[in-house]
DNA sequence: AGAGGTTACGGGCAGCGTAAGGATC
DNA sequence: GATCCTTACGCTGCCCGTAACCTCT
């Protein structure tokens, strides 16, 4: 019995599937089978019922799960405590919403590589709704997303807030004074994808005007910015991702009578034990934000993508 | 990192020696070295200071020890709980005083092989004083001995009691009535080794008579019996080891005015974690005694040695 | 010199991936 | 038939023991 085998066992218990575990642990499916067989041989007990679509724990398997999770928990605590940071290795799957990717993600990644040079990061940029789904299906280990993940077994903590500013190309004539919602509704709006919180906020903002406003949405922030710069519409975005465009004058800020709610981002990750490194990364993320005590623009003006 | 490596680490910490650990774990000394080197490489930390006569833990090593012992503890609990009994394997070093070896040790061994067929037993028959020493130096895992082991980190529980009967060869003329201590002191006495509790008890029994009694002692119970049968002296032994001799009439019981204290045996083993199987064997030993609710003679009249 | 740990090296076996073979829905 | 796990098999790499070497007391 070794720790790798116990980890395999725990992941099968979590995912209900040998195949998914193989993918999760970057191994072939027969390898996963072999590990469990060896564990079952050693304990002379069947651990999973493989008939049926999902691998389901037997009674003995449930007993083992308790111990295995405790051992994995201790093991990862051990690594955090006694290992020198560069000895902590492995792959962490990071799910981030694009706004994060545009702002302080580069700094976070820098911090992570600095603190844990041997950790491999896998980035998955997606909208928050999908990130939450990927988190619960354990396709990613930790997410930085809009809103909170209100699932049992998941830790979710708000950690930064962006207020949105309305911007438009100078080619669109707009007054210095705040414009009314009715006026806003007559201009095409480019924003985050449908099924995202900002989209819903804008939708509910202009719905009362009863105007059939054109709303373009894109899952790519750089596309939103590009379209706005090209004068295809106006958009409401965090000021932090627009530093270059506002400085060079290709975009101009304008004001609207009604205000949009801020975007509140949280970090979320599985609360189940054995994910000490993930928790450490979450702490690092929080520290990265709080050390400046406020949100800053990325150190470089260049976008990530 | 695997459990075997952690176990190796813990044993070096306990014994202060790579070499002793190699012996303890039935491996070569370079193998032990290699395991620790690999652990140190993985954690990128030095765990032992090898200069000097003893291997001594570094600060990081002490941190690791805490986790390693917890993990080993969980691992052995896991084996006890979820493994089918015949899957529990390994070697247990059993230290027993000869009286135990003569009486219910065969039944205990039978019970152990029955409950845990894959466990290897290593027997070490010695006098109780030496057993206590071997226990603290971890040469044996569990001991069944006279008296208690009053050491920190050791569990010690009394579990059976033998009263001693005086026996002599019929060739020695002795009255039916109890004889006085003065009379007893005139006969050579054959008993347990010096530095043993029974020897001390007999010594203090006859010292008041001020008679220069001949006391023969032997570390071999069968020799004591043989000498007594041959009429070289009388002896005080548990009735349970004399069933054959008393039945065949080669020994006869006689009474003495003063009485000797009973021999109280206890089981003792290390209280430090990671020795779950040892504890299980201790429980089994207690059960073996208490199920009959009294001490019995061995099922077979034949002696072990 | 002797006790104790490290280095060097060759052999065996455990564990891996690929490919083919059931079983269940 | 699709999905999922098991079996078969060849290969790689790790881990072990032996032997020689180094380093303190």
Kindly report, residue by residue over A136-152, the tens digit of the pLDDT.
Answer: 888 999 999 998 888 88
Pick the more confident residue, A299 or A273. Answer: A273
Q: How confident is the model at residue B285 (pLDDT cuts 50, 70, 90)?
A: confident
Task: Please check the confidence at residue B154 and state whether its pLDDT lies above 70.
Answer: yes
Q: What is the pLDDT of residue A298?
A: 38
Q: How confident is the model at residue A273 (pLDDT cuts 50, 70, 90)?
A: low
**Residue of chain A minimizing CA distance to B64:** A82
Q: Which of A89-98, B145-154, B181-190, B290-299 shows the lowest per-residue confidence on average (mean pLDDT)?
A: B290-299
A157 in the same domain as A267: yes
CB B289 within 8 A of CB B104: yes
CB A251 within 8 A of CB A245: yes
A30 CA: distance to closest CA in chain B (Å): 22
Q: How confident is the model at residue A7 (pLDDT cuts 50, 70, 90)?
A: very high
Count Cβ atoms below 10 Å from residue A138 Cβ, excluding itself: 16
CB A82 within 8 A of CB B60: yes
A120 in the same domain as A199: no
The stretch A115-129 carries a mean pLDDT of 89
The answer to whether B117 CB sits below 7 Å from nucleic acid chain C is: no
Question: What is the count of structural domains for chain A?
Answer: 3
The stretch B171-187 carries a mean pLDDT of 91
B277 in the same domain as B156: yes
By percentage, how much of chain A surpasses pLDDT 90?
A: 56
A205 in the same domain as A126: no
Return the CATH number at B19: 1.10.10.10
Q: Which domain holds residue B28?
A: 3-82
CA distances from B171 to A231, B92, B182, B185 (A): 125, 44, 20, 18
- Interhelix angle A29-43/A3-15, nearest 10 degrees: 110
Task: Please check the confidence at residue A294 and state whether its pLDDT lies above 70.
Answer: no
Q: How confident is the model at residue B302 (pLDDT cuts 50, 70, 90)?
A: very low
The answer for residues whose C-beta is within 8 angstroms of residue B83's C-beta and 6 or more apart is A42, A43, A44, A45
Cα separation, A245 vs A165, whole angstroms? 13
B113 in the same domain as B125: yes
Per-residue pLDDT tens over the stretch B120-136: 889 999 999 999 999 98
The stretch A256-267 carries a mean pLDDT of 91
B156 in the same domain as B298: yes
The answer for residues whose C-beta is within 8 angstroms of residue B99's C-beta and 6 or more apart is B146, B162, B221, B238, B241, B263, B265
Q: What is the pLDDT of residue B146?
A: 92
Cα dihedral A93, A98, A100, A102, rounded to 10, equals: 120
CA distances from A93 to A106, A277, B30 (A): 15, 11, 39
Q: What is the pLDDT of residue A8?
A: 96
- Chain mean pLDDT for chain A: 88
Q: How confident is the model at residue A2 (pLDDT cuts 50, 70, 90)?
A: very high
The answer to whether the Cβ–Cβ distance between A81 and B71 falls below 8 Å is no
Task: Please check the confidence at residue A297 and state whether its pLDDT lies above 70.
Answer: no
How many helices (H) does chain A have, and how many strands (E)? 12, 12
Q: What is the pLDDT of residue A291?
A: 58
Q: What is the pLDDT of residue B153?
A: 85
Task: Please check the confidence at residue B32 and state whether its pLDDT lies above 60.
Answer: yes
Q: What is the pLDDT of residue A277?
A: 81
Pick the more confident residue, B224 or A288. Answer: B224
The stretch B25-29 carries a mean pLDDT of 94
Cβ contacts from A onto B, under 8 A: 74
The stretch B59-65 carries a mean pLDDT of 95
Domain boundary among A82, A104, A125: A82
Q: What is the pLDDT of residue B89?
A: 83
The stretch B90-114 carries a mean pLDDT of 89
A189 in the same domain as A148: no
Looking at beta carbons, which residues of chain B come within 8 Å of A70?
Answer: 74
A270 in the same domain as A156: yes
**Residue of chain A minimizing CA distance to B3:** A2
Q: Supply the pTM of this predicted model.
A: 0.84
Q: Which of A120, A133, A131 is nearest to A98 (CA)?
A: A131
B157 in the same domain as B283: yes
The answer to whether B25 CB sits below 7 Å from nucleic acid chain D is: no
Domain boundary among B40, B59, B82: B82
CB B257 within 8 A of CB B181: yes
A271 in the same domain as A150: yes
The stretch B216-233 carries a mean pLDDT of 92
Task: Please check the confidence at residue B297 and state whether its pLDDT lies above 60.
Answer: no
Strand D interface, A 128-157, C-beta < 7 A:
none
Task: Please check the confidence at residue B98 and state whether its pLDDT lies above 70.
Answer: yes
The answer to whether B31 CB sits below 7 Å from nucleic acid chain D is: yes
Cα separation, A271 vs A155, whole angstroms? 5
A53 in the same domain as A172: no
The stretch A169-179 carries a mean pLDDT of 92
B271 in the same domain as B152: yes
The stretch A9-36 carries a mean pLDDT of 95
Residue B207 sits at φ, ψ, to 5 deg, of -55, -40
Domain boundary among B58, B82, B106: B82
Return the CATH number at A236: 3.40.190.10
Q: What is the pLDDT of residue B291?
A: 59
The answer for residues whose C-beta is within 8 angstroms of residue B29's C-beta and 6 or more apart is B18, B19, B22
Q: Which of A249, A252, A250 is nearest to A165 (CA)?
A: A252
Q: What is the pLDDT of residue A120?
A: 86
CA of B50: nucleotide with nearest C1': C5
Per-residue pLDDT tens over the stretch B182-200: 999 999 999 999 988 899 9
Q: How confident is the model at residue B301 (pLDDT cuts 50, 70, 90)?
A: very low
């Amino acid at each position: 019995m070794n720790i790798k085998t116990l980890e395999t066992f725990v992941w099968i218990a979590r995912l209900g599937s040998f195949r998914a575990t193989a993918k999760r642990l970057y191994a072939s499916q027969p390898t996963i089978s072999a590990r469990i067989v060896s564990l079952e041989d050693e304990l002379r007990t069947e651990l999973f019922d493989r008939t049926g679509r999902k691998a389901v724990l037997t009674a003995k398997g449930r007993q083992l799960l308790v111990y295995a999770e405790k051992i994995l928990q201790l093991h990862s605590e051990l690594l955090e405590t006694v290992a020198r940071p560069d000895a902590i290795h492995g792959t962490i799957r990071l799910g981030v919403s694009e706004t994060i990717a545009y702002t302080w993600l580069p700094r976070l990644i820098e911090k992570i590589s600095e603190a844990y040079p041997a950790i491999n990061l896998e980035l998955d940029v997606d909208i928050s709704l999908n990130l939450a789904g990927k988190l619960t299906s354990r396709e990613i280990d930790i997410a930085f997303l809009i809103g909170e993940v209100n699932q049992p077994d998941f830790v979710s903590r708000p950690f930064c807030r962006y207020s949105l500013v309305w911007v438009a190309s100078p080619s669109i004539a707009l007054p210095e004074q705040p414009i009314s919602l009715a006026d806003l509704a007559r201009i095409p709006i480019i924003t985050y994808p449908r099924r995202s919180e900002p989209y819903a906020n804008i939708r509910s903002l202009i719905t009362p005007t009863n105007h059939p406003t054109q709303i373009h949405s894109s899952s790519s922030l750089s596309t939103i910015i590009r379209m706005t710069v090209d004068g295809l519409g106006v958009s409401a975005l965090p000021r932090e991702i627009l530093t270059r465009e506002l400085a060079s004058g290709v975009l101009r800020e304008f004001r609207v009578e009604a205000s949009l709610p801020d975007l509140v981002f949280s970090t979320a990750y599985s609360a189940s034990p054995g994910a000490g490194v993930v928790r450490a990364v979450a702490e690092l993320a929080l520290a990265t934000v709080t050390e400046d005590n406020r949100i800053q623009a990325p150190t470089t003006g260049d976008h990530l993508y």
